Structure formats: structure tokens, C-alpha cells
Amino acid sequence: MDKLSFLKQYRKNIEVVSNKDLLNMEMESMPAQWLEIFQETDKTRRTEKLIDLWKSVCEKELSNTILYLTDNLLEFELVVDNEQYAVLYSLKSDNDEILYYEGGIPNKSIINTEMEQSWANAPVSIKEFYEKLHNGFYFLPSRAMGLVPLERITHFEDHEWGILDELDEPLGINMATTYGFFENGMGGYLAIDLNNCMNDLATLWFTNDKPEYNLNFWDIVDEWIVVGLQDN
């Protein structure tokens, strides 16, 4: 099965943006840094610019993820799905399989009304990732094992959590201001209480186990992304 046919199993309308269309794109379509990367015709230089962008945004926070990308990135392409642009990463796994990861092109207009006011309280490092690098970065088939797009972030107050009835200790987060930015696809979330997130404090939340509080958000994200890349 060719790549596009495989992808269409999960995204019916996904298409790869052609080189001709890339060269004709304007800054209104995507941020300047991404436009520069995709309009670079030299493949080696284009990859270098991609890695440089990752480093400029989150070299400290996602050092292991960036190292994995540097060593295992086979190619990356601009794709479009229902008028939303994203970067499709083809990555080699430890089993020599090709894994497809998606990173949305940043677009501030997608911050939904529900979260707009709270977004101002988000840690700077998280805002920079979503606003300068990617609107989420995750395994494309499952849309998990990564940072989810802003429009799909879980607002904890909007969900029924059966685990709450089983907790012996007082809840350590405010459900009204807590959002799950990372999903592992198996009932695990990495969440930020936007009213209590100094120093990138986060909560590891499970649907079937007690939560773990006061963890460093990026340490967990970096570890989980790499685990997903290695184990898929």
C-alpha cells in the first residue's frame, strides 16, 4: 500500500501539497518560518532548517525528541486536510518500520473561545510550542502519544471521571482550569492546571489510577514521545 492510501485510512481528505503549490504559497497561508522551510529546494538544507526551528523553540524542553528526529527522520512533507495545513513526518522506528507523525501548522485563530482567556495563563514554553512550532505533535493513526491540537485539548471540567470516586486524598487540581495537553491513547493524560503552573508544573492523570502531581511537564512529554517512537 502506498503512503497516501495508508494515510487515507485515517484521514479521508488528506492530500500532500505539491512542490508547485509550495512555491506559490504566500505568508497568509502559513507562518514565515514554515514557508521558508518548505520553499527550500535543497533537501539537506531543508531538513537542517526544520531541526533548527525545533531547537529554537524547545531545544531544552524536548532534547531527546529532537535527537530522535535528527537521527531517524526519513522525510517530511506539507499536507492539507479540510483546509488545515500540517507537517507529515516519516520516521524510522527501532523496528525499522516507518511511523507517521503529524504536527499542525501554528494558527492562533484555532484557540477556542472556551480556552481563550485561560491561554494567557499557560506557561510560556507551552505557548511558544503551539504558536511557533506545531499545533500539536502526535502519532497520526491514533492521534495520540503526543501533544494534541489546541482544538482537541481535554478540558477536565467537561468530562466525567470515574476515578474521582476512588481517590482517598483531596484532589490536587482545579478541574475548571485544568487541560490535558498530552494523551497516550490508553487513558493517560498529562495535564496543566492553568491557575497553578509555575515552573511548568503538571499532573499525570489516569482514568484508572491515582494521579501524580507536581511533575515537570516537558520531562514527561519528552519521555513519552520518544517511548512512542520506539515502541510503535
Which tens digit of pLDDT belongs to each residue from 88-139?
Answer: 999 999 888 999 999 999 876 655 555 677 788 889 999 999 999 999 999 9
Q: What is the rounded CA–CA span in Å between residue 93 and residue 171?
A: 38
Which tens digit of pLDDT belongs to each residue from 157-213?
Answer: 988 888 877 777 788 899 999 999 999 888 889 999 998 888 899 999 998 888 999
Residue with cell 518500520: 97
Q: What is the rounded CA–CA span in Å between residue 215 and residue 200?
A: 8
Model confidence, pTM: 0.92
What's the start-to-end Cα distance of the chain, in Å?
Answer: 19
Average pLDDT of the residues in 57-79: 97
Report helix, strand or coil for 139. strand
